Structure 1
């Protein structure tokens, strides 16, 4: 749920105020249904839930109370929640939920470079500690007669993912340290072509159910 909440708050923050259908269409171009396990049909529900909890403000609705015609913007609480979730995803390593870091990558530009570097250094330490403890966890699995044999391979595939993430984190940290990409307080390193943003000036009808 935290990944879904971060993605919804983050995309609203980029385009606010924006209509539900536009936000849904944007998230689907990010393929969130594949890597974040977000059901496209649940995006409207997620937006309304965030509004109900005070994180989003519903600005207006079109005729017939169509969910795709409601426009949204972040509230003060929503802005705070966005940064809380972003920092949690960036600073915490969870081998069973790799989608959290992938979601964080979509919004790292809203943090300052020094914090991103510090967080990546923290992630490297956490991943190195997990690698150091892995042989002992594996030995425990092998010595426990109550644990099925296949559990060992489940553990090993998670360990392999951790090693891959550690290698990537080290290289990403080096690139950021050398000045790659743009972060908060810096001139943007990329702006969309005008043709890519014209659809945000329109209010399309939501797709027919």
Structure 2
């Protein structure tokens, strides 16, 4: 649920004010239905729920527009919630919820480079600790008479994902340290095509 909320708040933040169909279309180009388990039809419900909880402001369009079409923008609470969810996804390793880091990657430009580096270094330590504990956890599974033999393979596939993420995180951390990509307070490293209305051209600073 937090991954869905981060994605919705984040995409509204890029395009705000933006209407539901525009946000749904954008998220579908990210293929979120495959890696974040978001049902395309649930995006509208999610936006209304965030508005009900005070994270989004609903803006009814005036005369001359399609009746009932509502656009959204973040409230102050929504901005705070966005950064809270983004930092939680970035700083916390959760091998059973890989979509959290995938969502965080979509919005890392919202943070400053030094924080991203610190978070990646923290993730490396967490993943190294999991790798160190792996043989002992596997032994515990193998020695438990009440656990079917095949369960150890479920543990091994999860451990393999953790090792793969560790390798990637080390490489990504180095690329960020070498100056690749752009983050809050820096000139953008990418510009949207002409005519595409987004806020990508100006990377906002995070709240102090």
Question: Please, what TM-score do these two structures have when normalized by structure 2?
Answer: 0.91
Q: Which residue of 2 aligns with 1:97?
A: 97
- 1:196 is displaced (CA, Å) by 3.8
Q: Distance between the aligned counterparts of 1:70 and 1:29, measured in 2?
A: 21
In angstroms, what is the RMSD of aligned CA positions?
1.2
Q: Which residue of 2 aligns with 1:83?
A: 83
Query: Are positions 1:158 and 2:158 aligned together?
Result: yes
- 1:194 is displaced (CA, Å) by 1.1
Query: Do 2:12 and 2:23's aligned partners in 1 also have CA atoms closer than 8 Å?
Result: yes
Q: Distance between the aligned counterparts of 1:39 and 1:183, measured in 2?
A: 30
Q: Distance between the aligned counterparts of 1:63 and 1:194, measured in 2?
A: 26
Deviations 1:30-72 (A, max 9, x none): 100111110000000000000000000001156553xxx2100
Q: Which residue of 2 aligns with 1:204?
A: none
Structure 1 residue runs of 4+, over 2 Å off? 61-65, 195-198
Secondary structure, counterpart of 1:106 in structure 2: helix
Deviations 1:140-192 (A, max 9, x none): 00000111112101100000000000000000000000000000000001010
Q: Which residue of 1 aligns with 2:184?
A: 184
- 1:195 is displaced (CA, Å) by 4.0
Q: Distance between the aligned counterparts of 1:193 and 1:85, measured in 2?
A: 29
Query: Are positions 1:172 and 2:172 aligned together?
Result: yes
Q: Which residue of 2 aligns with 1:138?
A: 138
Q: Which residue of 1 aligns with 2:9?
A: 9
- Unaligned regions of 5+ residues in structure 2, if any? 199-208
Aligned residues: 195
**Higher RCO by CA contacts (8 Å cutoff, separation 6 or greater):** 1
Q: Distance between the aligned counterparts of 1:137 and 1:151, measured in 2?
A: 12
Secondary structure, counterpart of 1:40 in structure 2: coil
- 1:124-135 map, 5 Å: 124-135=124-135
Secondary structure, counterpart of 1:33 in structure 2: helix
Q: Distance between the aligned counterparts of 1:150 and 1:58, measured in 2?
A: 51
Q: Which residue of 2 aligns with 1:44?
A: 44
Question: Please, what TM-score do these two structures have when normalized by structure 1?
Answer: 0.91
Q: Distance between the aligned counterparts of 1:161 and 1:54, measured in 2?
A: 37
